[in-house]
Chains A and B, each alone.
Chain A
Amino acid sequence: MKKENSDKFEIDDLLKQTLKDDLPPEIESSMKKQLILFQKKLEQHEQIRSEETSRAQRRLFQRGGLKWMKWALKKQVLAPASIIMIVLGAVLQITEPSSVLAESISLLKTSVIASDRVSHAESMECSIQVLAENEQSFNYFIQWLSTNLTRVQVINQNQDIIKTMWISEEEITIADHATNILRKIEKLEQIDNTEFMHILDLLSPLDLVEQMEGKWRLKQYKQQGDCESGTFIVAIPEEKTIIELTVDLCTFLPTNFKKFFEDPREESGEGKILMNVNFKWNKSIPPQLMLPKITKGSSCA
C-alpha cells in the first residue's frame, strides 16, 4: 500500500515537474489574440442570426408588407386577369405551333394561382429532410394553422422527436426532449438551436409565397404528365442554389420542393439534394397539437 502511494506521488511529481506551467508570455499573448478573435466572431454571428430571424418573424406575423399582394390577389383583379389569360391560352393553342408566349402565359397563370392558393391555405403540413454541413442530416415536420400557429418537430435518424417548437403570436416554446427542458421565449431572434436555422424560410405558407415572389429567379418551367403537375426551376443567386418547386395543376398547391447546389455542369439539377420538402395542404390538424397545455394546479414561468 505504501509503495503504491509513493508510486502515485512520484508519478504525479514527475508529470507536474516535466509538464510544468511555464507558458511563455509571448505565446500567451498570441493565444489571447485568438480568443479575442473568437469572441468577435461569436458577436458577429449573433448579429447575423438576429437579422435573419427578425426577417423570418416579420414574414410570419407582420402582414403589412404584403398588402399590395393581397390587393393583386383580390377576386376583382384575378378574375379578369384569369379570363384574359385563358382566352390568350386558347387562341395560342389553336394557332400552331405553340410558342414561347404560350408557355410563359401558362407559367404566369400557374404562378399567380399557386401564390393565391398558398397564401389562402387553411393548414399546411410538410416533412423536410435537410443535408447540413459535414454531411449531417436533419429531419423536420412542420404543421401550420391559419390562426398563425406553427409547430416544428426535429426528428432524428431513429424517427424519434428530439425537439419541438411551438410558435404563436404571443410566444415561442421550445421543448428539448433529450434534456427534458422546456423554454419559453418571446422572439424568434432568441432561438439558439442551430437545428431550427435551416427551416426559418418554411415556417408558414406566407414565407414560401414571399420567397416565390421576391427571392427566386426563374430559370425554367416545365409541365409533367398530361398537365398533372408543373415544375418551376429557380435559382437563388446569393445562396448559389437551385430550387425545383413542383405544383399540382389540379389544386395549384406545391407538392414538393427540392434544393440543390448550383452546379453549371449539372444542368438537369440532379446534384446533391440539400433540402427535400413534401407538402400536404388543407388537412385537418388536431388543435391540441398546436400549443403545449398547462395542467391544472401548475404555473408556468
Chain B
Amino acid sequence: MDIAITSRKHGALYNQSWTVRPEEIFLKSEKLFFDQLIKPIEHQMMRSIWRIVRDPETAKDVLQDSLAKIWKRLDRIQSHPNPHALILKICLNVAIDSLRKRKRLRQHEKTEPLHRLPIQSDFKVHEALENKKVEAEILEAINRLPRRQAVAVLMRIIQEQPYAVIAQAMGCNETTVRIHVSRGRARLSQWLSHLKSASLKEESK
C-alpha cells in the first residue's frame, strides 16, 4: 500500500510516496530477535568461528566481539533480506580480523605457542606439529587474501552457503561473489600447491 508524506527540506515543502510492508508494521523485541535470529544459527556461528580460529581462547573472544557487533547493528540486521547470512558473515569478518591480529602479534613474538599442543607420544607429537604447521599455512594464506575474497571463499567452502545467500550477506550480486570465490580459490591453490601435492601423496599411500 502507498502512503504520501509531506515533508520539509531546506525550508520547502515536498511530497514523498512510501510503500508500507505489512510485516514491518510491528516491531520485533530484543527477545524475539534472539529467539528468531540468533538461536536457530547459534551452532553454525560457533562452528564457523572455531573452524577459522582453532584456538579456545580466541574462539571465545571472537564470539564475544561478534555479539558486540551484532548488538550494534540490530537495526540493520532486522531490516536485512537475509539476517542469518548477515550474522554469519559478521562472525567470519571478526574471525578474519582475529587472524590478522594474531599475525601482527606473532611478528613480535616469533615463537609458536607449543604449550597449547597436547602431551602425547613422540609420533603423535610429530603428527600434531605437522597438522599445526599445515593449519597455520592455510590460515596464513586466507589471511593474505583480500577481505571480500576471504569472506566469499570461507562462506562458500566452510559454511557451504549458496552463492545467492553469500551475495545477500555481502551486499553485492551473485556474479561478483562467483568472481571473488574463483579468484580466492585460484590464489589459495597457487600459494598452497605444495600442501595439495603432499596431501595427495598421503591419500595415494
Query: Which A residues fall within an 8 A CB radius of B?
Result: 7-8, 10-24, 27-28, 30-32, 34-35, 38-39, 42-43, 45-46, 161, 164, 175-176, 179-185, 190-194, 286, 288-289, 292-295, 298-301
Q: Residue on B with the closest CB to A10?
A: B196
Residues on the B chain within 8 Å of A191, using CB: 27
Residues of A within 8 A of B199 (CB): 10, 13-14, 17
Interface-lining segment among B13-21, B120-128, B164-172: B13-21
Binding site of B, secondary structure by majority: helix, strand, loop or mixed?
helix
Known: A14-B196, A27-B56. A182 touches B28 (CB 8 A): no
Whether A181 contacts B20 by the Cβ 8 Å rule is: yes
Partner of A301 from the list B20, B27, B139 (CB cut-off 8 Å) is B20
Question: With A17-B199, A27-B56, A192-B75 in contact, is A43–B30 under 8 Å at CB?
Answer: yes
Query: Which residue of chain A lies nearest to B153 when distances are taken between CB atoms in the complex?
Result: A15
Task: Please state if B28 and A192 are interface contacts (CB–CB under 8 Å).
Answer: yes
| B75 touching A11, Cβ below 8 Å | no
Q: Please judge, given known A-B contacts A30-B60, A180-B19, A298-B3, whether A192 and B31 are in contact too, CB under 8 Å.
A: no
Partner pick for B7 among A14, A161, A181, CB 8 A cutoff: A161
With contacts A42-B34, A193-B75, A294-B3 taken as known, whether A301 is within 8 angstroms of B25 at the C-beta atoms is: yes
Please tell me if the beta carbons of A16 and B24 are within 8 angstroms of each other in the complex: no
A164 contact set on B, CB distance < 8 A: 5, 7
Assess whether B192 is interfacial by the CB under 8 Å rule: yes
Separation of A53 and B189 alpha carbons in the complex (Å): 56
Q: Which of A182, A193, A288: most chain B Cβ within 10 A?
A: A182
Chain B residues closer than 8 Å to A21, beta-carbon distance: 47, 50-51
Q: How far is the CB of A275 from chain B (nearest CB, A)?
A: 21
**Max chain A C-beta neighbours (<10 A), residue from B9, B75, B186:** B75
In addition to A23-B50, A161-B9, 9 A-B residue pairs with Cβ atoms within 8 Å of each other are A21-B47, A32-B42, A35-B38, A161-B7, A184-B25, A193-B75, A194-B75, A294-B4, A301-B1
Interface residues on B, range: 35 or more
Q: Say whether B119 faces chain A, with CB atoms less than 8 Å apart.
A: no
A16 to B29, CA, bound (A): 37
B51 and A295 contact, CB distance less than 8 A: no
For A35, list chain B residues within 8 Å (CB): 38, 42, 46, 63, 67
Shortest 5 CB-CB distances between A and B: which pairs? A42-B30, A23-B50, A46-B30, A19-B51, A292-B5
Closest A residue to B33 by CB, please name it: A42
Would you mind naming 25 contact pairs between A and B with Cβ atoms under 8 Å apart?
A7-B189, A10-B199, A12-B157, A15-B157, A21-B47, A21-B51, A23-B47, A23-B51, A27-B50, A30-B60, A31-B49, A35-B63, A38-B34, A181-B21, A181-B79, A185-B26, A192-B27, A192-B74, A286-B6, A289-B6, A289-B13, A292-B3, A293-B5, A298-B3, A301-B25
Per the 8 Å Cβ criterion, residues 60-102 of B in contact with A are: 60, 63-64, 67, 71, 74-75, 78-79
**Given A21-B51, A35-B42, A295-B4: A175 touches B18 (CB 8 Å cut-off):** yes
- B residues with a Cβ closer than 8 A to A are 1-9, 13, 17-22, 24-31, 33-34, 38, 42, 46-47, 49-52, 54, 56, 59-60, 63-64, 67, 71, 74-75, 78-79, 131, 134-135, 138-139, 153, 157-158, 185-186, 188-189, 192, 195-196, 199-200
Residues of A contacting B67 in the complex (Cβ-Cβ under 8 angstroms)? 34-35, 38
A18, A43, A294 pick with most chain B CB within 10 angstroms: A18
Question: Which chain A positions have C-beta within 8 A of B52?
Answer: 19
Q: Identify A298's interface contact among B2, B13, B192, CB under 8 A.
A: B2
A residues less than 8 Å from B2 (CB atoms): 295, 298
**Complex CA–CA separation, A180 to B18 (angstroms):** 6
Bound: A164/B138 CA distance, A: 49
**What distance in Å separates the Cβ of B165 from its nearest Cβ neighbour in chain A?**
17
Q: Which residues of B contact A46 (CB under 8 A)?
A: 29-31
Chain A residues within 8 Å of B19, by CB: 180-182
Chain A, Cβ-Cβ closest to B4: A295
Instruction: Report the nearest A residue to B1, measured CB to CB.
Output: A298
Q: Which listed residue, A14, A39, A183, A295, touches B138 by the CB 8 Å rule?
A: A14
Q: A22 to B21: give the CA distance in the assembly, Å.
A: 42
A20 vs B67: C-alpha distance when bound (angstroms): 23
